[in-house]
Structure 1
Amino acid sequence: MKCYKCQHLMPTTCCSLTIARRNKIKTRTKCRAKTRTRTTSTANVRVAVSLTTTTSIFMTLLFLLSCSRNVTLARLHSSSSTSTVALHGMNSVGNGPVVGVGNSLTTKDAHVKTKDIDAVEGKSVSLPCPISAPLDDVYMVLWFRDNAGIPLYSFDVRDKMNSDQARHWSAPEVFGSRAKFHFDSQPATLEIKDIKRHDQGIYRCRIDFRTSQTQSFRFNLSVIILPEQPIILDRWGRQLNGTKLGPKQEGDDIVITCRVVGGRPQPQVRWLVNGLLVDNQYEHNSGDVIENRLLWPSVQRTDLNSVFTCQALNTQLDKPKEKSFILDMHLKPLEVKIIEPPSSMVADRRYEVTCESTGSRPNAIITWYKGKRQLRRTKDEISNNTTRSELSFVPTTDDDGKSITCRAENPNVNGLYLETMWKLNVVYPPLVTLRLGSTLSPDDIKEGDDVYFECHVQSNPQWRKLLWLHNGIHLEHNTSARVIRSNQSLVLQKITKHYAGNYACSAINDEGETVSNQLPLRVKYTPICKHLDRVILIGASKDETVEVACEIQADPPPRTFRWKFNNSGETLDVGSERFSVNGSRSILKYTPVTDQDYGTLSCWASNEVGTQNQPCLFQVVLAALPNAVSNCTIFNRTELSVDIQCIPGYDGGLPQIFVLEMFSTRSGITRFNITNTEEPQFSLENLDTLTSIMTQENNSLKLRIYAFNQKGRSASYSLPDFSIGSTAFRTDDDVSLTLSPVIVGSVLTIVIISLAVALKIFMMTFLHNLRRNRQHGTKATATAVVTQTGDVYKGGVGIEKPRWQHTDIKSKSSEDLVEDERDPDVIPSQYGKLF
């Protein structure tokens, strides 16, 4: 058991505290306090008696509190100079209260000057309390409120080596953790955080030194209550939110009201524009509501982005409560222009033209118009308050002389826009249109009529040359040919069917030349044979049915056809059931049975203009397969090419075609072929490619040559001993035509004699028929023979559908015609033996 005694240097107070501590077990002891008061006068004795009574009551309460908290009692301090007795107590950890006993405000404290300090609600405030004294140490610092005798904050340095070890205590029901005494600042201050409204009052700071006299300081703390955030109302009393005011248009008035609620002391409500005070006249509305109404007349473009601020101010300790708005405005465009438009534009070429507008807010919308039609192929670019619009435009010839309009407008500004116009100068090659004379009907023109055309030209710049064309060929002024040109007209006099075709006119200016539309001229005429002045040769075997096609040229198409057959003995009309008509073509199915059935077929057609003057002629002859070629010779051989030539065989009475082909004896596939429609002569090139083919086919390729006509294909002739480098081609074992010179000569003699006889018989028959046609009023035109053959051989695979080919023959002399009259007009039966 230990007893700690603390003796105050002043002889008026003595305190003994006993605390039992052993093995962490605390023993409660009864504390006693004795107070001795030394008086120097009767008045002081009375005061001491009163203080003693008060102290006794307070000690009882303090005892109960200290016992419940396991605290020790502090010494009881009594100062004779202030006639005040105080009892200080703390718990074992040094955070208990220190209580002043006696009058809360001494006679000396009443004369301490009070200092006014303002604090803003919710902020912090520091109450100064200088604790420096010359040659003395601070013993204790106590803070009181108003006239209270119990401190609300204590700073106790007793029994401590230095101030850093001092005990701090703050009454929890007053400041609690909100207060903190800073003893090391100059001066020392009591910092109070988060000031409350009820913190307002008078505070005393009392400083006890170890030997020096106690010092006191008084402060009148005023708590300033800031007003609420200003509310901005428009002219209709609606609250404005956000930070934007407007948008307004030029000339509009601004009427806004700033409303502020609360604040102590009463705040000032004022308006500032761009930081400058413009209105501080405010008025009470009701209760603690204050309003300030601002009228800002006729806003201008220069007012854009002006800052309108309402401030509510009732202290300099904090920033004023304020609400700001930035003026937003809708502004019309100031300028619109087309940037460097071209002086002229070429038609059908794309151009990019730029229009620029400035001064609009928000940025102007630019629209383009051609006349009243809006152009939409645009690309806009916006920067700052400038709008650029690029028009992609392809002018046409019709745009020449028209205007392009660029319009800039702000849709938020009613009825206000700017526009600029640009007149187009479009240059282009001439626009040429050809028309038939207005008095002519295109469907009623026939041979012998007069026709005229009109050429209409539109151009910029003006045309300087005009040309006329017929089927693409230039027409010159020719009076003898009855072709007359006059300015922009063309006159054709006494036209024939040869004037039919497509007509056009062409105009030239600095931009180029333009050919007009093709205007077809239809000239009606009587039918004519498509193969005019020619006899078509038809090869047919006995009992073979052939189709004989009579093709007519006529405008309009023929309505009727008629056929006739003529041989050396008679002329017969062919019944309509024997032939068919398809437009301008009539097909006769003819089957020769006897020798008398070989002769001449004639065909006539009629249309609404008239009947054909000269018939179409067809000579029907006995025909057979062609003979094989012979005596093929290889010459002009090089490493990469070779020529092959053969002797043709008899053509079977019909034109024949010669084919050289290479085929595989293994697969039967034809590797390639060459066709000659004139003679059996062939040129082979790029032979190096054949070597690779030979390797692929294992040297199984063969070369063969054959002929074919309308009736079919001859036997093949294989080339003997043909090689490419060291690669030899095999010969055809199926047909070997390697003959001795005697056999070859004999065969050639027989063939030549047979051809001569056949030719003589043919000419006799033809001239006889021709003479008979003259007797019937038909003009002789035996100057050519047209032979109907198959299509040109394609790919060496087979014969396609027959087509018409031509072979000219020599006209006979008058002596031959006389001799023909003595010869029998019969085709001999031996004619067929030649095949």
Structure 2
Amino acid sequence: MQAAFVNNILFGRILSSLGNEYDGDLVSFDDVVVLRAVRGRDARLPCGQGKVFLDGPDSYVLWLKNDRDFLYRFPNENSGSRSLSRDRIFGTSCESGSCHDDTSLLLKRVSDQDAGIYRCRVHYQASPSQDYVIDVRLVESPGMPRVYSDSGVLIKQGYVGPLSLGSDLILVCEVDDEQPDTLVYWRRNGVVIERAHEARPGVLRAEVLVRNATRSELDAHYECLAQNADVTEPLTASVVIRMYLPPISVEIRLNQNFNFEAGQPRVVDCVVVGCVPPPSVTWHLGDNLLRPSVHKELHDGNYTVSSLTLAPSLRDNEHKLVCRAHNSHLPDEVFEDEVTLNVGYRPLCLTSREETVGAVQREAETLTCIVEASPEPIQFSWTFADSKTLYTSVKKVPGYHHRYSSTLTWLPREGDFGLLYCRATNSFGEQKKPCTYSITSGGPPQSPDCGILRSYPHTVRVECQKRWDGGRPQIIHLELFGSEGGLLHNVSNSAGHFHLSDVDEDNNLTAILYSSNNRGRSSSKTMYLQTASTLNASAITEHPVVTLKGQWLQALAGLLTIIVIVALVGVCLGMRSKHEDSDSPDLVLRSDGVFHREPDFEREERLLRTTNITVNQLAACQNATDLNDNECLWDNLIRTAFNDLPQGVYTEEQLFSHFTRKWDGILQQYASSPVPSCRVLVGCGSRLPQQDTCPASQHSYFV
């Protein structure tokens, strides 16, 4: 460095010349060092060839001039001043940002009276004292260095450039000086790189050539120095190299974690290194320019950091996130880095509620855990109440993009009862909220809650709500019994919804309902259903049946039985005799009393020509030919008589008179009711096929 350079060039001279003014007793020629100082500038005299180390608290350094004048002691009591002559002589201190040895002597603004012999005496505590003698001689200051460009232009602003990579640079330094001992040289960042030569008489010149400039030239400090003294700082002229540089690197820093959880904000840094001047940074996601809510840029010397808070959605999966650095002085170059986003989320349980599972010890139990996740889970884990954990494989649920399942089959034991947790894990982490199952003791199901209703005749509808299934799929069973105890229907299904048709209008329908699974059946529930009233012929509305007191019902039943038997026996015997005398069973009585033959055709042909004709209900009884067929007349008598009977208490004579009038009206209506001249395929008798029955309000005739 500079001190080594000075020591090698100047400090090696030992007393090249001394006068006879010193006595031999005071100093010898071999002990005196001659040092030059520039008149009018500061000079610093060192004590010895290097730093002096004091060996104890009683050690000290004394500076004397001409062995008579005491100048400075270190250390001293008045350490704040460190000088006897404050205006001219100082001990040592930090000057202009650089600290020197406290044992050196600083001479401010050297004048002719400062020339002479100086002695530095070091008093050691454990060894003999040692003296260092310096002969200070004064010289004139050299000329001020001047720096020129290769074109000969004087550089005054203190910098050159900006340069670009690969360019060349020439710096020229000139100093006007005729002193033979003056040195002119170049330093780069404190290192001597070039010495001057005499360009012409009285002018020293030194050149620096920089070829194919690299990044190392950025902010390089070039100094031209002119020096002709040993203890006085040289005169300098310096320039700094400025450059325009592209980035060395543009990097999106994700710490090798390219997973972005959908909707979760994450801070992403883009670091641009080596771009001069500092660049502007933009972010792009796919084809979109991002306008982040949080965006900051930090410029720290060679680094530019742009931070982006990003919360991507699943639509951004596999899109490219680009960080682009823009150097305004290099518009034709693109500097960017890009990463491909992997957007997803941790597994989520498909159901948020706790599911109850009925298990039986040593009986195989199977559970399926379904989650939504992106990407696909790596594994499923099942943790039992006793902290035992099992791992199962992953299966994709067909028809869904992000739905996956895993099935666990195990033999329950006593420690398994309690809560069972199912968790899935993918590259984004483990499922935070597990799917929860409550493992309880299983068995037969509980009885269902059912309701029975009858919206119109011959139809029963049953709606059941299932209860606890006992841990296995359950089936709802319905058994429907008539008033005499006969089984009418025995049906079952898993939904618990039943719609039963062709149910006779018994007074007391009994329904038995229960649930079952492969572990057994529940207790039965019995429900009763009373008959619904027959619908009126003119409108499908249900009329309430008039109920009398028990004693009047018994009397009425006995009376009506006698009357009906007597009346109907005579009518039916007459009709039977006519039917038996007929040679052709296909002859049907017309309304005008004349028989006609019905053509032969199949039932399917009839159905093709079906037409519905609404007529009086008694028309269905027009073709009755035997006693059983006249049950239709009996039904009409009972229905109309009860419907027209006001609520109250009646005598036997009143009831007999009422039913007699009704019977006469029915017979008259039976004889005079108009019926189409065709065979009626539906009727009330038991002789007709059961499938040809019809509701009371509508009758179908095949013409």
TM-score (normalizing by structure 1): 0.26
Larger radius of gyration: 1
TM-score (normalizing by structure 2): 0.30
If each structure's strand is expressed as a fraction of its own residues, which one has the higher value?
1
